[in-house]
């Protein structure tokens, strides 16, 4: 694993490479994604069936998962896996549902102002497939939607070459009471959710991670529909004071590298000795990993260990990178509060990243590629909208109507002023 001094030219080049990879990938697929979206808008289900044959190598007779397929899924699951999914559901539901916001009411001198939180009516959740099946992504999408009070949850997920969907994914969807499931993936699924087809209803918001085609499609349909975020490849940043277990750190770096070849795994440490130990341990663990080819490629191209001189440098670089997952291994806890840019912070050696992927309760659908500076994890509020409400009595309006009219006239909006003044004119 590459080891660089933080202030070296190689470190600077690496950090620039990490920060620009999303934009570079988007440019390469933009025209293709735009064409896919246009074809789905024009040809609806026929386009989706055609793309399933082209990309997934399957000739679909029906796009929608049947009730029989859904009911049979539970019987195909290993009992221990089912138990794990049930436990994850329980933890995630408890955490997410506890955060449901309440309406805010403010009253002053005869005027009632309110912010209302209203569930979105129809949500489209995208669950990735392809290289792996992710029942955890079903839970992380559907549970906050259901907890928010969304009436209709529409799910899309790529099928296999036989037209089937992973039974664990279907079981998770059934557990979450997903209303309808469609065998559609990629940019074409995002287009179908955004604009609707003969079979797939148009939704109000689209959530869920996917590959670069999915991310670019979400960016292009934003405005026709709301989206949660534009996510990129998975990433982990570990901040260490140099006194940690190298075996733990190596395992956690690899845990994200195995997602795909574009995943990023970075360690910031104060110790040259720890850097060498972790680098060696990564090599040892990769040699024993079933997905070693994918993880090794990711570590080679987008992995690095950066050696810093001070704890403040650790903090500054971590906040600059603003990673999806940030593991903090610092004995001095006072520095943790200074870490403000991350999708999720995992504090301490017994809080590895997979804890958040499955069981802790917070969502694992997180902002990537530096967007954690401004974007938030998926959550119950992602499936709600805010609406303002104002109600004034005559006495309340009378106390401020002249100020309102004055303000309106200052902006040359005489109609606005007239709307206020007319209520207190002699001929009311």
Please tell me whether residues 66 and 182 are part of one structural domain: yes
DSSP 8-state class, residue 198: S
What per-residue confidence (pLDDT) applies to 136?
Answer: 97
Distance, CA of 205 to CA of 214 (rounded, Å): 14
Cβ 84 vs Cβ 374: under 8 Å: no
Please tell me whether residues 12 and 61 are part of one structural domain: no
What per-residue confidence (pLDDT) applies to 226?
Answer: 98
* CATH number for the domain that contains residue 308: 3.40.50.1980
Number of domains in the chain: 3
What is the DSSP pairing of strand 384-392 with strand 111-119? antiparallel
What is the DSSP pairing of strand 104-108 with strand 111-119? antiparallel
Distance, CA of 259 to CA of 266 (rounded, Å): 15
Please tell me whether residues 94 and 57 are part of one structural domain: yes
With vertex at residue 394, the alpha carbon angle to CA 392 and CA 396, rounded to the nearest 5 degrees, is 55
Last residue of one domain, picked from the residues 204, 229, 254: 229
In a domain, 39, yes or no: no
Closest CA to 209 of 386, 357, 391: 357
Q: Is 324 in the active site?
A: yes
The CB density around residue 17, as the number of other CB atoms within 10 Å, is: 14
Residue from 274, 325, 327, 353 carrying the catalytic annotation: 325
pTM of the model: 0.94
Please tell me whether residues 308 and 196 are part of one structural domain: no
* Residue 226, helix vs strand vs coil: strand
3-state secondary structure string, 297-350?
HHHHHHEEEEECCCHHHHHHHHHHHCCCEEEEECCCHHHHHHCCCCCEEEECCC
Tokens found for residue 236: 């982990």
What per-residue confidence (pLDDT) applies to 291?
Answer: 79
Residues that constitute the known binding site for NAD(+) = 126, 188, 211
In a domain, 126, yes or no: yes
Residue from 235, 324, 327, 353 carrying the catalytic annotation: 324
Residues that constitute the known binding site for Zn(2+) = 256, 259, 357, 416
Residues that constitute the known binding site = 126, 188, 211, 234, 256, 259, 325, 357, 411, 416
Alpha carbon separation from 312 to 249, 317, 319, 327, 334 (Å, rounded): 20, 9, 11, 16, 12
Tokens found for residue 280: 């060696």
Please tell me whether residues 347 and 277 are part of one structural domain: yes
Please tell me whether residues 185 and 324 are part of one structural domain: no
In a domain, 34, yes or no: no
Please tell me whether residues 358 and 408 are part of one structural domain: no
Please tell me whether residues 220 and 268 are part of one structural domain: no
Please tell me whether residues 106 and 206 are part of one structural domain: yes
Please tell me whether residues 49 and 172 are part of one structural domain: yes
Please tell me whether residues 264 and 158 are part of one structural domain: no
* Non-local CB neighbours of 2 within 8 Å, separated by 6+ positions: 10, 14, 303, 304, 305
Residues paired with residue 269 on neighbouring β-strands, in sequence order: 240, 307
Q: Is 9 in the active site?
A: no
Alpha carbon separation from 227 to 136, 206, 221, 316 (Å, rounded): 20, 5, 8, 30
What per-residue confidence (pLDDT) applies to 148?
Answer: 98
Please tell me whether residues 265 and 248 are part of one structural domain: yes
3-state secondary structure string, 257-295?
HCCCCCCEEEEEECCHHHHHHHHHHHHHHHCCCCCHHHH
Distance, CA of 224 to CA of 205 (rounded, Å): 9
Residue stretches of the chain with pLDDT short of 70: 130-131, 426-428
Range of the domain at 416: 393-424
């Amino acid at each position: 694993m590459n080891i660089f001094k933080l202030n070296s030219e190689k470190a600077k080049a690496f950090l620039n490479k990490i920060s620009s990879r999303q934009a570079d990938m988007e440019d390469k697929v933009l025209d293709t994604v735009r064409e896919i979206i246009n074809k789905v808008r024009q040809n609806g289900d026929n386009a989706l069936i055609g793309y399933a044959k082209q990309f997934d190598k399957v000739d679909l007779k029906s796009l929608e998962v049947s009730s029989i397929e859904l009911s049979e899924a539970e019987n195909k699951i290993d009992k221990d896996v089912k138990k794990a999914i049930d436990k994850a559901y329980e933890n995630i539901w408890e955490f997410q549902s506890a955060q449901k916001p309440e309406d805010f009411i403010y009253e002053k001198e005869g005027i009632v102002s309110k912010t209302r939180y209203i569930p979105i009516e129809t949500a489209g959740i995208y669950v990735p497939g392809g290289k792996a099946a992710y029942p955890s992504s079903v839970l992380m999408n559907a549970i906050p939607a259901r907890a928010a009070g969304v009436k209709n949850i529409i799910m899309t997920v790529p099928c296999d070459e036989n037209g089937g969907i992973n039974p664990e994914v279907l079981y998770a969807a059934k557990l979450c009471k997903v209303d309808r499931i469609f065998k559609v993936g990629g940019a074409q699924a995002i287009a179908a959710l955004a604009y609707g087809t003969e079979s797939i209803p148009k939704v109000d918001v689209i959530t869920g991670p996917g590959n670069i085609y999915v991310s670019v499609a979400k960016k292009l349909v934003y405005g026709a529909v709301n989206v949660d975020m534009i996510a990129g490849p998975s990433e982990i940043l570990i901040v260490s004071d140099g006194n940690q277990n190298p075996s733990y750190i190596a395992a956690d770096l690899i845990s994200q590298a195995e997602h795909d070849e574009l995943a990023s795994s970075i360690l910031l440490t104060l110790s040259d000795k720890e850097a060498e130990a972790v680098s060696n341990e990564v090599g040892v663990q990769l040699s024993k990993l079933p997905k070693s080819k994918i993880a090794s490629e990711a570590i080679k191209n987008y992995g690095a260990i950066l050696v810093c001189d001070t704890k403040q440098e650790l903090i500054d670089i971590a906040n600059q990178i603003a990673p999806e997952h940030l593991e903090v291994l610092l004995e001095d806890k006072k520095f943790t509060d200074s870490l403000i840019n991350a999708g999720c912070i995992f504090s301490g050696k017994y809080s590895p990243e997979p804890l958040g992927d499955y069981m802790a309760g917070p969502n694992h659908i997180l902002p990537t590629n530096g967007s954690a500076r401004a974007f938030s994890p998926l959550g119950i509020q992602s499936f709600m909208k805010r609406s303002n409400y104002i109600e004034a009595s005559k006495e309340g309006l009378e106390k401020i109507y002249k100020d309102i009219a004055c303000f309106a006239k200052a902006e040359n909006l005489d109609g606005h002023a007239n709307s206020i003044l007319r209520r207190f004119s002699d001929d009311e």
